[in-house]
Amino acid sequence: MSARLPVACLLLSGCAGAQSALDPGGDQAQALFSLFALMMWVCGVVYVVVVAALGWALWRAWRQRGADARGDGDATHRTDGRLRRLLPVAAGAILIGLTVLITGSFLADRALFATRAAPALEVRVTGHQWWWRIRYRDPASGGWTETANELHLPQGRTVRLVLESADVIHSFWVPGVAGKLDMIPGRTNRLDVTARRAGWYRGQCAEFCGLQHAHMALAVKVEPSDAFRTWLAAQAAPAGRAAGRGGAVFATVCAACHAVRGTAAGGRAGPDLTHVAGRRTLAAGTLTMTRGNLQGWIAQPQAIKPGTSMPAVPLTPADADAVAGYLAGLR
């Protein structure tokens, strides 16, 4: 084996990862990656040819100066004739190169927006400053199951993502699964995705949407269909936990903005918290999900994510502890 492979591996090792467009885990990401590779190759060849031509021209000029100094200047006239004959070849190469690029991008675009299989599932994703509201449509009953900040996708199935915004322009982008598409207030955009490789991916709002734009990440889990169905059924179920003191505090100061299905809390201004502790991250990827981080977030949301629409609610230490304990049990 040549020495080129290890070198290439070393150079490309930065390209893998949960948020990389160069490590495709689904059909749409694959189509975009293929287009990227095609453009890299075509433009790479053009670059090499142009640099070689430049080198040749410099070398010629240098040789010409030498010839002039010796007093025999016809060499250039001969090469000028050859250059003129080369011109149609260069024009043809440019035409072919551009045609290849245009065809490639046309085909990639078709692959993204013309899914043959009817989508198995519809998921509505709504961008908010600065979090994601996610609703799954139950194919059987037509009912909706709401969650937030963590998108689950069944492996090998085509899912139609219906993208909307509640406030400003956001952009849905999970590079490992699909290309990006804007979420525009008053408009509905559709993105079909077919994830192939199971595992965790990371998405990120890709349109500057205010102060905490960088803290608007999306955890994405691609899992086998059976596991996905089990997960969705669990999400659809109401909170299975007796409320106790934490629940009572929640009902008085948090329920205006947050819903916990199965209780009286039905607020819609913030994320649905019915199964919040089952999520991997907190506040759209800002913190990992632990009881300590839950408590910290509740105590000081404005310190952790300045400008967020969640206010710091004054609570006694005992009440804060009880609410955090209550939420940590909502799995």
Which positions touch ligand HEC (CB under 6 A)? 130-131, 148-149, 250, 253-254, 256-258, 269-271, 273, 276, 279, 282-284, 294, 297-298, 305, 308-311, 313, 323, 327
Nearer to ligand HEC, 29 or 148 (CB): 148
Nearer to ligand HEC, 32 or 320 (CB): 320
Q: Exposed (0-12), middle (13-18) or buried (19+): which is 73, by Cβ within 10 Å?
A: exposed
**Nearest distance, CB of residue 212 and Cu ion, angstroms:** 9
In terms of DSSP H, where are the helices of the chain?
4-12, 27-70, 75-113, 225-236, 244-253, 291-299, 301-304, 317-328
Binding partner of residue 253 among Cu ion, ligand HEC, none, CB cut-off 5 to 8 Å per kind: ligand HEC
Binding partner of residue 209 among ligand HEC, Cu ion, none, CB cut-off 5 to 8 Å per kind: Cu ion
**Nearest distance, CB of residue 181 and Cu ion, angstroms:** 13
**Nearest distance, CB of residue 39 and ligand HEC, angstroms:** 36
DSSP 8-state symbol, 312:
P
- Between CA 304 and CA 312 the distance in angstroms is 11
Residues in contact with Cu ion by the rule CB under 5 A: 170, 205, 209, 216
Helix-, strand-, coil-residue percentages of the chain, each rounded to 5:
45, 20, 35
- Between CA 259 and CA 276 the distance in angstroms is 11
CA 295 to chain centre: 29
Binding partner of residue 189 among Cu ion, ligand HEC, none, CB cut-off 5 to 8 Å per kind: none
Nearer to ligand HEC, 180 or 279 (CB): 279
Nearer to ligand HEC, 194 or 308 (CB): 308
In the three-class reduction of DSSP (H, G, I as helix; E, B as strand; rest coil), residue 170 is classed as strand
In one-letter notation, the amino acid at residue 55 is G
In one-letter notation, the amino acid at residue 19 is Q
Residue 32 · residue 108 · CB < 8 Å: yes
**Nearest distance, CB of residue 230 and ligand HEC, angstroms:** 21
DSSP 8-state symbol, 280:
S
**Nearest distance, CB of residue 301 and ligand HEC, angstroms:** 7
Nearer to Cu ion, 209 or 310 (CB): 209
Nearer to Cu ion, 218 or 289 (CB): 218
Tokens of 212: 């905490």
Binding partner of residue 258 among ligand HEC, Cu ion, none, CB cut-off 5 to 8 Å per kind: ligand HEC
Binding partner of residue 310 among Cu ion, ligand HEC, none, CB cut-off 5 to 8 Å per kind: ligand HEC
**Nearest distance, CB of residue 175 and Cu ion, angstroms:** 16
- Between CA 283 and CA 215 the distance in angstroms is 8
- Between CA 259 and CA 272 the distance in angstroms is 5
**Nearest distance, CB of residue 175 and ligand HEC, angstroms:** 21
Binding partner of residue 152 among Cu ion, ligand HEC, none, CB cut-off 5 to 8 Å per kind: none
Nearer to ligand HEC, 108 or 322 (CB): 322
Residue 209 · residue 126 · CB < 8 Å: no
Tokens of 47: 């670059």
Nearer to ligand HEC, 167 or 182 (CB): 167
Binding partner of residue 295 among ligand HEC, Cu ion, none, CB cut-off 5 to 8 Å per kind: none
Binding partner of residue 205 among ligand HEC, Cu ion, none, CB cut-off 5 to 8 Å per kind: Cu ion
Residue 123 · residue 136 · CB < 8 Å: yes
DSSP 8-state symbol, 272:
-
